[in-house]
Structure 1
Amino acid sequence: MTYIGIDISKDTFVVAYSPDKKSKTKTFKNTTKGIHEFIRTISKEKHHCVMEATGNYSALLVYLLSEAGITTSLENPLKVKNFARAMLSTVKTDEIDARLIALYGEKMNPAPYKLRSDAILTLKQKRTVIRQLKKQLIATRNLKGSMEALPFFDAKCKRSVEKTIAFLEKQIKDLEEDLANLACSEYKKQMDLLTSIKGIGVTLAAALIMATGGFTYFDNAKQLTRYLGLSPTYQQSGTSV
């Protein structure tokens, strides 16, 4: 299996087909067309793509690679950064980073990424939009409060602000209902079990479903607690604890 390193940015991604310093790299556009062009240059039987998790920038690439049956690993950037330090890498360019990621794959043999289901992706999108709308709602309410503290508040401006607040409140309510309904329909068993626990409502239960893929991303409770940052760590060196 040949490891391919990919360094991703918003508009493009650089591909290193080999970790060899003298090997050539190729740049593709980070679009559906550009990704399909890249996929035509590799084989699902011979290649394993490795890249850093870069949020939305890597989402389309990971999705289309997985749909094409290409083995793909999505690694924590901190792990790759620490690997670069261990290799005493001091120069940083997109091409060098891509080769370094290819070398990381070759040496570390990272586990294949499990593509999130469409339901999980939809739930996460709804949650992201809800969060942003809530931020806008808070900002607009603060604006209304600050304007009301002035000697006078222009009637037209006031109506505009109040309409915006009402619109945001309705959008948030509708999306929260959609999120809850989708979570309950796609993950009914998990939602029923979670909400049966005192203190866990629909919102928290849905968040746990999204974080764990319906509790399919982890093999045991220990892995889950470490992922959530709830597992204590023990550090001791010499006489220091």
Structure 2
Amino acid sequence: MDEQRTIFVGIDVSKDRLDVHLRPSGEAFHVARDTKGLEVLARRFGSLPVALVVLEATGGFEASVAAALAVAGLPLCIVNPRQIRDFARAMGRLAKTDTLDAEVIALFAERIRPPARPLPEPERSHFAELVSRRRQIIGMINMETNRRDQAVDKQLIRRLNRHITFLERELSELDGDIGQAIKASPVWCETEALLKSVPGVGDVTARTLLAQLPELGTIGRHQLAALVGIAPINRDSGLMRGRRSIAGGRTSVRGVLYMAALTTIRRGSPFRPFYERLTLRGRPRKVALVAVMRKLLVTLNAIVRNRTPWQSVMA
């Protein structure tokens, strides 16, 4: 964590009001839980060295607050209220008011330092289910299309065509649901736009990354490559040096990065010269393509972390 970012913020969320406490200064204030109040918070925190903002999950009231602060680029974590209660008991803090709750949450942020999460977990899980279902339907369409192409019986072909049409209609409706989910969340809407500003990254890649890789923008490039499964794995023993390969990780993310990397190479984006340099040095094309995938992932990670769109130079 950057040593300059030393302010920890606790926010107690209620239906109409937000009680805020800052550590270590002890400053406390409150704002209304409405658009104006959220704008005030975003502006105020935007000029401060904030290390972490912590909110309690309060049955949905925290969602709009989390979205507004995340869009402002603030490191944010939503925690279970039970964690705060247990922490308060351990600290001997038994009294309870909104102002005191905000202070306890700020203390929790400062001393426990839970990892910042870029998206509210219940919303992200729902979004991940939609994206996963989309991938399943596409797989079924491909399988049914292959069966139709191999079929001879005309009646069977008609039945397969009906099923393919049904699946395509389901896919269209699901795409609409995914689009609405993104539009309903300022966090996703802005992050999707940032991701799609990169050459080769379209709707499917951006939405898969949003759903399946919430760590994007919050961890280092080496950790991220290992998480996705595109970091070379050593296979050495004694004096023997085995071939480096990639394995494990999140296959759905790796799949969309593969297609995005192919697109960037074929369309002559700024990633193509990097690919060509590797192949000219004798690297196999598949190895060079994986290197492009890693470079693309590193670029996306920096863009989301810095909240700045793609510029026509490689990160």
| Length-normalised TM-score, structure 2 | 0.39
Greater RCO (Cα-Cα under 8 Å, separation 6 or more): 1
Q: TM-score, normalised by structure 1?
A: 0.50
